[in-house]
Structure 1
Amino acid sequence: MSSATVARAWTSAGAPRGRRARERRLRNTPPPRGRARARALDDDDDDDDGRPRVEDMTAREMREELRAFDLPTSGRKTSLVALLEKARAWADAGATPRAEWTREAAAERAMEDAARRAAEERRMERRERRGYADAGGGRRGGGSVVETTRAVEAMKERGASEARREFVVQRAMSESGAGREGWFMLETAENREERAREMILALNGTKLTREQREPLVAWVPRVPRDNFYLTEEDAEGKSELELCQMVGEEDMAEMIQPGYVLVRCTLTQTLTDAFNDLWSVRGFATGGSSRFGKKSYEKLNQPLSMDDQIPRMIRKCVPVVKTDEQVKADEARVEVQEVARAGRQERDENDGDDLRPTSSSEVGAATYDRIEVHDGPFKGFKGFIVSENDDGSVEATLAIFGRDTNVTLTSDEYKCI
């Protein structure tokens, strides 16, 4: 009896039917031979084209490949893995990863806008069913005809005032603001600065930025941590602004302007409308005056220029660039401190000043000579030399009240023991 005959007999005998039953049968069905072969090929260490697997790459390697695709390089490793897999799939399909990423970001924004509009419509429908008049009302029905008329007139007056003010803003922008080029501040939602920066950069290459002389530059100023640094290889050929942009959220000590993104652009009405349509962007940081309006000078929403503040921010946010020798020296210092800390735990309490490493295979005796300070503020303390400076002074680690302390000593303040 063939398998098809058995299947028909089993179905006619009362086998479970319906969508769930079909899904259950599909899950229990073994994969085809071609699918199993594809899964076996995926288990290899490298892809067919010789590229390393994304799961086996470091975060730095992922950022370099994403930078080659002209895609964002910030974020945690999990997000980098997902983005790099998409970029490779787009490239293998013959598409441009940057264009596909921009299209996907636009689709996400459209979905978010649609969800927000749907939520607002549901909220308004609930209020209408409950009989609430406006956003400030809390009782059903109600009020006299005179009160209702006054409320309507007040709403009309507020709307007319807003319309007049918007006209003043647009007129002032077209006459005095259009064509201004420089750095400006865009206000964003709280903790959404990085998302807003990516959405602003996604406008490059679209019809909304055709009037721009140069591509848009967006920057979230972050002060790096004390122990954060860049190697000469990473910093080669980059400006100070580009170095500042390499400080990610996980590498910062503080944010200079929380809730704002700095943008370098040429002000146009098209670009202003595009910024206002971006989700998480609330508009320009504004100020100034205008000769329009009822008063001789009226405060006006004109974008504030930040050109005079940018150099100061760059000086505060630029990270330290270290050579390979400096990186090795820092690693050696950390290693010495760890060895000294481990040795201090094994020493007797009465002999707490012997900080010299016990393993000669780990550190060299010529570099880590034991010393005793006989002059200066650290007189009487003992330790060992970590490195020597060009001016003749040395960097040393002393045991001061049971703690390792890094100090700088001149040649006449210590002696080797």
Structure 2
Amino acid sequence: MSRPRPHIDASGRRARLGRRHLLAPAYRSARTEEVADAVVALHASDAATVHLAACARLTAPGPAEVERALYDDRSLVRLLCMRRTLFAVGAGLAPVVASSTALAIAAKERRNMTRWVLGGAPGWDERRLAEVEARTLAALTARGEATAGDLAADVPDLRDTIVVSPGKPYEATVAVSSRILRVLAAEGTVRRGRPRGGWTSSSFRWTPGTAFADLPAPPAPEARAGLARRWLAAYGPATVEDLRWWTGWTLTDTRRAVAATDAVEVTLDDGAAALALPDDLEPVPAPGPWAALLPGLDPTAMGWKSRDWYLDPGHVPHLFDRSGNIGPTVWWNGRIIGGWAQRADGEIVWRLLSDEGGREAASAVAAEAARLAGWVGDVRVTPRFRTPLERELSA
């Protein structure tokens, strides 16, 4: 007779979340690199998310600590990777992410960019595209750091434009520089450096090279297994479908990666089969009461496809946009209980969608809002992806 699968209930999952994602105060970290490693990667499509997500988990939050890792020590690198999304990844993990995910996406980005430029920009062919890329890299190397505008001054071909979606309400004119630099960054030839504005800006300066370009990368199957193991250590127990969604891999690649991790099957509260690492089957004590204000696209909020164990399905219309992007959320002991926003005058406001935790939760949320306001200061944060509750609160 086969032995029954171990059972890990929702409270055990929430205890793991509070500890391993560094959200309970006793588990916060002093360094941004440790935060990124704890959640595997920080979502970076919205420049502000990296700072807000890291600072929610830092013992002494502030943009200077995050900028140190991103731009001074360069111990975090932005990669176009999982789900064709921009993430900030620790330099040590970057070769694994590159081989498992990012390089395949970069190859597809190059094919699409080449077809787009050659099909839409008069006078362009593959030879001219290669020459412009070479001159762009030479100009960036000579400058050491440059904006797209700086590079276009040195390489005038970068100023050429293409009209996309002509005749449509969303018709736009796009410079070829934006697509070329995006592909070079995806391939690891250039890197997003310090932005022109403050820490909420996505108008990056460019610098030569990225961390993963100069480090040996494991073969793709080995890299996928390594990334799956890291993800399960941070997000397990979880299902194969959760991992497939998070990475964007095919189902076949996901199953092969999981098989190479020696993960074991466990049962969740709804009876579904999930996966956990062999050393993660014992009960995990709750880390004590904790509240958190997490930004839109926070890695914890976006960590699983199946979210009912930490998110009431009835709250989804308030907290997500139509594309499935989550907005700013309020957490209590491993569950989302509301949302928050910043008003034009800088005030941090929130609304609880649940009375879970009562006065204790409300008091802890208020303290976290004060902590957030204290380090954000005069900066105004508007999420890139606006959600119904965030819009309502910020109005």
Alignment TM class, shorter chain as reference: under 0.3
Higher relative contact order (CA 8 A, sep 6+): 2
Taking structure 1 as the reference length, the TM-score comes to 0.20
